[in-house]
């Protein structure tokens, strides 16, 4: 075959490639027909998405226009990351506040909502200040709460406790005693879904907070990984190691998951006595083991205090709330601002959240919470948050993604006993 | 001359597809491996920082090692089983046909389904082996559990390759051997195995390169856990890139994967004489 006969096919090849690329780019350009509609992105949730859509209907009734798109947890984080600097970016996006939001703020992608909240005092004052602060970075507000508050609580199986003649723990030492009590009875003292590092993280968060107060972590978040070298971190991790080595979590937690058939089920079936989990565990149990909840066997208490520790026993960790933030480059920024200052504290929205079992982050909801399907539980959480001096956002949400990821890896190694408290600190401080 | 072979035009779609979806992304990944990019904003060049970090990254080294273990062990497990069952299934007896079609069932299941199935089966509180070894929870055996699941999934495919190849062995060879009084075992050794040589090469390349890039099964089954016991290189890349959003560093890992995969298939081809491949049957 002569050389020349190759030339034309080669050129054709190039043309095909170029055409394909151009046409691929063409679709991402502007020219969407639904211009002016507020594009809202949120996390998928069969119950809450309906309520969020109702708030959009209410916004439309007021002359606005908006639409909701929802995604599963991990795909959401990835999509948001890729989309936020592009023409495909949403106008309002769901987030967890804290350091996670800070990455987007630092990149100049998030609109400052301070002035619009100051102008709409009614909106600003409607929310519990400590929750609103979850999306406050420096002295500016970058988000408005839009779902319920989800502190982490210590759940327990009342039946198992009664049979053992035991009381739920109020102090760390009581917790240690309970571990021995249940171990002797062949019951896993504490259920732990160890395949997912965030369940282990809840323990690390609470123990550090109780031992040394919230400042140690705030220091890590604000001043960088050097903050991990605070001696309080090794001290709290040593306490936690003691708990793990006592067999508090049983021997097989490393392959237990949080989904059906996992940690929640062994609590419901009485194979485990306690379970530290976010407040969503209640609805989760109601869904998966309805009889367990309806018979009144599911109990809950705040995390025990650690005597001699500096942290206030009322401090909480967990998801402070979820927030809507507006993108800086949005063409509908004014509409977005209007949405977050009018729709999210409306009585109808708040009541719908309560009826769905959520505990909305608004002030003066005591009366409304009586309409909750589980009023006792909802009021407990509401009071807990109102009385807490500090509500720490989950560390993995409050740190930049790269630091959070390596911390979670180290934490799993720690729970397996492959890494000592000091080695944990050295590893996370080095990043 | 040119009328004997298809014109080069025929290759245009394939080449364009390859350029767009393989060569171009690969070049982009090489570029990204020299940048710092968190997925937001634009990538900024940071010289060889990702690469020097890769050299110091104990976790990356450990995950390369795990990948190699996974690769070698699953080759060692899969090849003999697939070969023996394949040759057995090549027989024309009806019972063999029935059993083979049952045996090929895993081929019909999606990877996600297989991973979820085994995860449920090996669940320590509600699975099939309650009180037994912690297949997915013990860092010392979790990697071998992954090998087991991957083998369960892929042995049927390789069996199919061997079955087809074994059926293509000319019966005359066996007839001649029978006349010479060869035993079953020596027929297998001296006829079947040499005749299947190139199938063994093909299947081995598929297995080795396949386990180098195995990802979905491990992601769903263990997500690299317990701890980092099953965090193989592709998973390390994914976690770095899509949980930590360190796209530059993840790209450096991706380049390593591409280089390893290419080197591996070249090595197998060369070492096995695949290039001089020709039919060993009579008449050619």
Tell me how many residue pairs between chain A and chain B have CB atoms under 8 A apart.
123
Residue A7 has pLDDT above 90, yes or no: no
Residue A1, pLDDT score: 40
The pLDDT of A186-212, averaged and rounded, is: 95
A218 and A253 in a common domain? yes
> Do residue B245 and residue A401 have CB atoms under 8 angstroms apart?
yes
Residue A12, pLDDT score: 56
Q: Which of B2, B20, B125 sits opposite A256 (nearest CB)?
A: B125
The pLDDT of B16-29, averaged and rounded, is: 92
Q: What is the distance between the alpha carbons of residues B244 and B247, in angstroms, rounded to a whole number?
A: 8
Residue-wise pLDDT for A320-339, tens only, equals: 999 999 999 898 999 999 99
How close, in Å, is residue B235 to chain A by CA atoms?
Answer: 13
A261 and A350 in a common domain? no
Q: Map tokens 């051997």 to a residue.
A: B177
A270 and A176 in a common domain? yes
Residue A199's closest CA among A281, A95, A266? A281
A159 and A101 in a common domain? no
Q: What is the distance between the alpha carbons of residues A265 and B146, in angstroms, rounded to a whole number?
A: 25
Query: CB-based contact (8 Å) between B208 and chain A?
Result: no
The pLDDT of A102-130, averaged and rounded, is: 92
Do the Cβ atoms of A200 and A411 come closer than 8 Å?
Answer: yes
* Comparison of pLDDT for B269 and B70, the residue scoring more: B70
Q: How confident is the model at residue A10 (pLDDT cuts 50, 70, 90)?
A: low
How close, in Å, is residue B267 to chain A by CA atoms?
Answer: 30
> Do residue B137 and residue A253 have CB atoms under 8 angstroms apart?
yes
Contacts by A203-206 with C-beta closer than 8 Å and gap 24+? A203/A240, A203/A243, A203/A276, A204/A236, A204/A237, A204/A240, A204/A395, A204/A411, A205/A152, A205/A317, A205/A392, A205/A394, A205/A395, A206/A152, A206/A276, A206/A303, A206/A317
Residue-wise pLDDT for B192-229, tens only, equals: 999 998 899 889 988 998 888 889 999 999 999 899 99
Residue B41 has pLDDT above 90, yes or no: no
Plot region of B131 (φ>0 → left; ψ -120 to 50 → alpha; else → beta): left
Give chain A's mean pLDDT: 89
The pLDDT of A292-297, averaged and rounded, is: 93
> Do residue B39 and residue A104 have CB atoms under 8 angstroms apart?
no
Residue-wise pLDDT for A370-427, tens only, equals: 888 889 999 999 999 999 989 999 999 999 889 999 999 999 999 999 999 999 999 9
Query: CB-based contact (8 Å) between B226 and chain A?
Result: yes
The phi, psi pair for A2, rounded to 5°, reads: -75, 160
- Most distant pair of Cα atoms in chain A: their distance: 93
Query: CB-based contact (8 Å) between B55 and chain A?
Result: no
The pLDDT of A156-163, averaged and rounded, is: 96
A265 and A183 in a common domain? yes
**A26 in a domain, yes or no?**
no
Q: What is the distance between the alpha carbons of residues A230 and A223, in angstroms, rounded to a whole number?
A: 12
A197 and A67 in a common domain? no
Superfamily of domain B22-34+47-276: MetI-like (1.10.3720.10)
* Residue count (chain B): 284
User: What is the DSSP secondary-structure string of A266-296?
Assistant: HHHTTSEEEEEEETTHHHHHHHH-HHHHHTT
Q: Residue B157, Cβ neighbours under 10 Å: how many?
A: 17
> Do residue B244 and residue A404 have CB atoms under 8 angstroms apart?
yes
A226 and A86 in a common domain? no
Do the Cβ atoms of A214 and A311 come closer than 8 Å?
Answer: yes
The token duo for B215 is 């990802």
Do the Cβ atoms of A68 and A40 come closer than 8 Å?
Answer: yes
> Do residue B59 and residue A409 have CB atoms under 8 angstroms apart?
yes
> Do residue A402 and residue B7 have CB atoms under 8 angstroms apart?
no
Residue A302's closest CA among A274, A328, A271, A324? A274
Nearest CA in chain B to A84: B40
> Do residue A401 and residue B244 have CB atoms under 8 angstroms apart?
yes
Looking at chain A, the number of H-run helices and the number of E-run strands are 21, 13
A377 and A404 in a common domain? no
| Residue ranges making up the domain that contains A286 | 150-318+400-429
Q: How confident is the model at residue A25 (pLDDT cuts 50, 70, 90)?
A: very low
**What are the boundaries of each domain within chain B?**
22-34+47-276
Query: CB-based contact (8 Å) between B273 and chain A?
Result: no
Q: How confident is the model at residue A15 (pLDDT cuts 50, 70, 90)?
A: low
Residue B90 has pLDDT above 50, yes or no: yes
Residue A30 has pLDDT above 50, yes or no: no
Q: Could you tell me which residues come within 8 angstroms of residue A388 by beta carbon, excluding any fewer than 6 positions away? A: A130, A151, A312, A314, A315, A316
Alpha carbons within 13 angstroms on the beta-carbon side of residue B49 total 12
Residue B273 has pLDDT above 70, yes or no: no
The token duo for A431 is 């990043």
* Comparison of pLDDT for A403 and B265, the residue scoring more: A403
**A14 in a domain, yes or no?**
no
Residue B23 has pLDDT above 50, yes or no: yes
A134 and A253 in a common domain? no
Residue B153, pLDDT score: 93
Q: Could you tell me which residues come within 8 angstroms of residue B60 by beta carbon, excluding any fewer than 6 positions away? A: B54, B233, B236, B253
> Do residue B239 and residue A109 have CB atoms under 8 angstroms apart?
no
How close, in Å, is residue A72 to chain B by CA atoms?
Answer: 14
Q: Could you tell me which residues come within 8 angstroms of residue A283 by beta carbon, excluding any fewer than 6 positions away? A: A357
A185 and A106 in a common domain? no
Task: Give whole-number Cα distances, B255 to B52, B67, B258, in Å.
Answer: 14, 15, 5
> What CATH number corresponds to the domain at position A194?
3.40.190.10
Q: What is the distance between the alpha carbons of residues B255 and B261, in angstroms, rounded to a whole number?
A: 10
Q: If you average pLDDT over each of A48-57, B6-15, B130-139, which comes out highest?
A: A48-57
Nearest CA in chain B to A405: B244
Q: How confident is the model at residue A207 (pLDDT cuts 50, 70, 90)?
A: very high
Tally of domains within chain A: 2
Residue-wise pLDDT for A186-195, tens only, equals: 999 999 999 9
Residue A147 has pLDDT above 90, yes or no: yes
Q: How confident is the model at residue A53 (pLDDT cuts 50, 70, 90)?
A: very high
> Do residue A254 and residue B139 have CB atoms under 8 angstroms apart?
yes
Q: Which of A12, A82, A255 sits opposite B226 (nearest CB)?
A: A255
**A366 in a domain, yes or no?**
yes
Give chain B's mean pLDDT: 88
Residue A16, pLDDT score: 54
**A21 in a domain, yes or no?**
no
The pLDDT of A78-100, averaged and rounded, is: 88
- Alpha helices by DSSP H, chain B: 12-18, 24-32, 49-56, 58-89, 94-103, 111-121, 142-167, 171-179, 184-187, 193-195, 197-213, 216-221, 233-242, 247-272
Residue B275, pLDDT score: 56
Residue A44 has pLDDT above 70, yes or no: yes
Residue B114, pLDDT score: 93
Helix (H, G, I), strand (E, B) or coil at B84: helix
Q: Which of A252, A254, A402 sits opposite B244 (nearest CB)?
A: A402
| Mutation target among B19, B36, B39 for the A interface, most CBs of A within 10 A | B39
Residue B47, pLDDT score: 86
The pLDDT of A102-116, averaged and rounded, is: 92
pLDDT > 90: percent of chain A: 70
* Comparison of pLDDT for A322 and B265, the residue scoring more: A322
User: What is the DSSP secondary-structure string of A209-251?
Assistant: HHHH-THHHHHHHHH-GGGGGSHHHHHHHHHHHHHHHTTTT-S
The pLDDT of B157-169, averaged and rounded, is: 93
Q: What is the distance between the alpha carbons of residues A176 and A164, in angstroms, rounded to a whole number?
A: 15
A261 and A241 in a common domain? yes
Residue A2, pLDDT score: 46
The token duo for B180 is 């010479």
> Do residue A253 and residue B7 have CB atoms under 8 angstroms apart?
no
Residue-wise pLDDT for A277-294, tens only, equals: 999 899 889 888 999 999
User: What angle is formed at CA A196 by the lines to CA A90 and CA B220, rounded to 5 degrees?
Assistant: 80
Q: Which of B2, B8, B135 sits opposite A9 (nearest CB)?
A: B8
Helices B197-213 and B58-89: angle between axes, nearest 10 degrees: 150
Residue B38, pLDDT score: 85
Q: What is the distance between the alpha carbons of residues A271 and A253, in angstroms, rounded to a whole number?
A: 13
* Comparison of pLDDT for A191 and B91, the residue scoring more: A191
Do the Cβ atoms of A381 and A359 come closer than 8 Å?
Answer: yes
Residue A221's closest CA among A74, A52, A14, A403? A403
Interface predicted TM-score (ipTM): 0.85
The token duo for A150 is 């989800």
Do the Cβ atoms of A158 and A165 come closer than 8 Å?
Answer: no
Q: Which of A13, A74, A103 sits opposite B16 (nearest CB)?
A: A13
How close, in Å, is residue B217 to chain A by CA atoms?
Answer: 15
Nearest CA in chain A to B241: A402
Q: Residue B271, Cβ neighbours under 10 Å: how many?
A: 9
How close, in Å, is residue A413 to chain B by CA atoms?
Answer: 5
Do the Cβ atoms of A274 and A187 come closer than 8 Å?
Answer: no
Residue A214, pLDDT score: 93
Residue B283 has pLDDT above 70, yes or no: no
Residues 57-86 of B with CB under 8 A from A: 59
**A3 in a domain, yes or no?**
no
**A31 in a domain, yes or no?**
no
A chain contacts of residue B216, beta-carbon cutoff 8 Å: none
A287 and A155 in a common domain? yes
């Amino acid at each position: 075959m002569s050389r020349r006969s190759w030339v034309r096919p080669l050129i054709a090849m190039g043309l095909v490639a170029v055409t394909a690329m151009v046409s691929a780019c063409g679709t991402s350009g502007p020219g969407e027909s639904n211009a002016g509609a507020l594009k809202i992105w949120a996390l998928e949730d069969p119950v809450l998405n309906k309520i969020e859509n109702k708030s959009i209907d209410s916004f439309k009734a007021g002359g606005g226009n908006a639409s909701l798109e929802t995604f599963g947890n991990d795909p959401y984080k990835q999509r948001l990351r890729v989309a936020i600097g592009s023409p495909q970016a949403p106008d309002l996006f769901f987030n967890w506040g804290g350091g996670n939001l800070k990455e987007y703020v630092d990149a100049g992608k998030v609109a400052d909502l301070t002035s619009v909240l100051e102008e709409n005092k009614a909106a600003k004052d409607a929310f519990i200040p400590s929750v609103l602060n979850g999306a406050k970075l420096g002295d500016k507000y970058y988000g408005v709460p839009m779902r319920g508050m989800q502190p982490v609580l210590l759940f327990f199986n009342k039946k198992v406790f009664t049979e053992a003649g035991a009381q739920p723990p109020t102090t760390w030492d009581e917790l240690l005693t309970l571990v021995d009590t249940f171990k002797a009875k062949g019951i896993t003292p504490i259920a732990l879904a160890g395949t997912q590092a965030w369940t282990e993280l809840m323990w690390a968060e609470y123990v550090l907070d109780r031992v040394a107060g919230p400042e140690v972590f705030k220091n890590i978040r604000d001043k960088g990984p050097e903050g991990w070298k605070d001696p309080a971190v090794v001290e709290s991790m040593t306490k936690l190691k003691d708990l793990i080595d006592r067999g508090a979590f049983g021997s097989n937690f490393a392959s237990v998951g949080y989904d059906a058939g996992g940690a929640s089920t062994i609590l419901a079936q009485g194979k485990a006595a306690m379970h530290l989990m976010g407040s969503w565990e209640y609805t989760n149990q109601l869904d998966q083991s309805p009889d367990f909840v309806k018979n009144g066997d599911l109990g809950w208490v705040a995390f025990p205090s650690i005597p001699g520790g500096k942290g206030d026993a009322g401090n909480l960790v967990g998801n402070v709330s979820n927030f809507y933030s507006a993108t800086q480059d949005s063409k509908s920024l004014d509409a977005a601002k209007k949405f977050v200052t009018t729709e999210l504290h409306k009585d109808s929205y708040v009541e719908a959240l309560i009826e769905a079992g959520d505990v909305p982050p608004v002030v003066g909801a005591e009366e409304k919470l009586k309409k909750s399907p589980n009023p006792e539980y909802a009021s407990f959480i509401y009071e807990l948050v109102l009385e807490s001096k500090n509500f720490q956002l989950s560390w993995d949400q409050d740190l930049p993604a790269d630091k959070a990821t390596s911390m979670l890896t180290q934490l799993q190694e720690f729970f397996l006993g492959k890494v000592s408290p000091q080695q944990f600190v050295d590893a996370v401080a080095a990043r | 001359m040119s009328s004997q072979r298809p014109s080069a035009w025929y290759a245009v779609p394939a080449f364009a597809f390859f350029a767009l979806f393989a060569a171009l992304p690969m070049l982009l990944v090489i570029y990204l491996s020299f940048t710092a990019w968190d997925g937001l904003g634009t990538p900024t060049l940071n010289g060889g920082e990702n690469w020097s970090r890769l050299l110091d990254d104990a976790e990356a080294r450990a995950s390369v090692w795990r990948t190699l273990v996974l690769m070698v062990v699953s080759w060692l497990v899969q090849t003999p089983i697939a070969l023996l069952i394949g040759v057995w299934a090549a027989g024309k007896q009806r019972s063999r046909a029935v059993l083979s079609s049952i045996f090929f069932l895993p081929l019909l299941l999606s990877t996600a389904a297989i991973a979820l199935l085994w995860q449920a089966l090996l669940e320590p509180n509600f699975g099939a082996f309650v009180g037994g070894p912690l297949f997915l929870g013990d860092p010392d055996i979790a990697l071998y559990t992954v090998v087991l699941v991957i083998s369960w999934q892929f042995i049927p495919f390789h069996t199919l390759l061997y079955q087809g190849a074994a059926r293509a062995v000319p019966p005359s060879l066996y007839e001649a051997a029978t006349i010479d009084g060869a035993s079953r075992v020596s027929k297998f050794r001296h006829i079947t195995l040499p005749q299947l040589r190139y199938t063994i090469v093909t299947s081995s390349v598929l297995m080795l390169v396949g386990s180098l890039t195995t990802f979905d099964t491990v992601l769903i089954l263990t997500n690299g856990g317990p701890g980092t016991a099953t965090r193989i290189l592709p998973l390390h890349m994914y976690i770095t890139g899509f949980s930590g959003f360190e796209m530059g560093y993840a790209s450096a890992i991706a380049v390593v994967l591409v280089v390893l995969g290419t080197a591996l298939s070249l090595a197998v081809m060369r070492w096995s004489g695949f290039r001089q491949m020709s039919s060993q049957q009579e008449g050619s």
